[in-house]
Amino acid sequence: MKQNLNSVQVPGHGSALADKDFGTINGLGQHSEHERITRAALQCQGAWKSDGTCFETRSIDQVAGKSGSFGAVGAPDFPPPFGAEAHCDDADFLYIDGYPQSRQKASATLTKCVNYLKSQYRDAVGNAVDLLDSKGNVKSWVYYDFAWPSPDCYFRPQSNGRAKCNVFQGLGVALHGAQDFYSHSNWADTAAPPYTIANPPGLANTDPAPLLNLRNSASNVLSIPYNLTTGCYQLFRDTASAPSSRTCYKRILHDSVNKDKGIINAQTGTTSGTPGTARGKYSNNFERAVKAAIADTKRQWADFRMELELTRGRNVS
């Protein structure tokens, strides 16, 4: 029987505790932002059965996470968190004399992030073959390394778990990084002059970034806008100026540009309340970042389905 990848009943569990990007916990100023963005973008509404464009309850719990777990999208924040390439950090640049990092270096750092997300995306597509039977149909049940007593996946640390969990792992890591890009960069936000390392300009885009086309195997350096920046991340000192001995000295800090914290309706994607960062509070920057992240999450899943159809056949998508 033909089945959709996002309606087969197979498990997921993860855990995270990080304070460097859209939130993965509900506490310490975070509101499970990654989970809520992912649900707003991908979950089926009500009791709808999936037609392939959305995830039913069990599957969205594995990808987005739920109370007590954080799913595949939270995996990069599980201690110790993944490096800058998983969050698109440290690609900072400002067009002023003497800025410590060149446009070329910033673009190379961002390209490293994009290439990392592409590798996770490709891993997920590659692992989908284990979901298929000899006729190319999705198996009705994939029994793979059952973890008693929990019927859920374990995304970090992970060692070749169930086939569907392995697909979700790569997809979740790719979605995490794509969502972080809109929080950690000035792609979607706005700012008023004068522009400084504490107040970089905003690019005010509303569409998903072309450079995050994860299906595209080519380099995207040429599609990186000249004034695009993310922030330099310094552990435990993110709201303080970096001392001269540190890498982030005289650079745009993560805290100067991130829009990580705020309340998101997991059903509609609308935002409410007062955002938890200075950049997010300015104008409607948190809302802008969330809208862009939701739009790109939808794009990534649509592209992922197309890639599955191309490489694995229509049934698996």
Q: Which tens digit of pLDDT belongs to each residue from 56-107? A: 998 999 999 987 777 899 988 876 567 889 999 999 999 999 999 999 999 9
Domain extent for 62: 26-316
- Give, in order, the Cα–Cα distances in Å from 250 to each of 97, 196, 242, 313: 12, 10, 7, 51
Q: How many domains does the chain have?
A: 1
Q: Express each pLDDT in 117-152 by its tens digit.
A: 999 999 999 998 888 877 777 776 654 444 445 678
In a domain, 101, yes or no: yes
In a domain, 168, yes or no: yes
In a domain, 5, yes or no: no
In a domain, 265, yes or no: yes
In whole angstroms, give the CA distance from residue 303 to residue 215: 7
* Degrees, nearest 5: CA angle 61-309-140: 50
Q: Which helix (H) or strand (E) holds 272?
A: strand 271-272
Is the pTM higher than 0.85? The answer reads yes
In whole angstroms, give the CA distance from residue 199 to residue 215: 33
In whole angstroms, give the CA distance from residue 229 to residue 110: 9
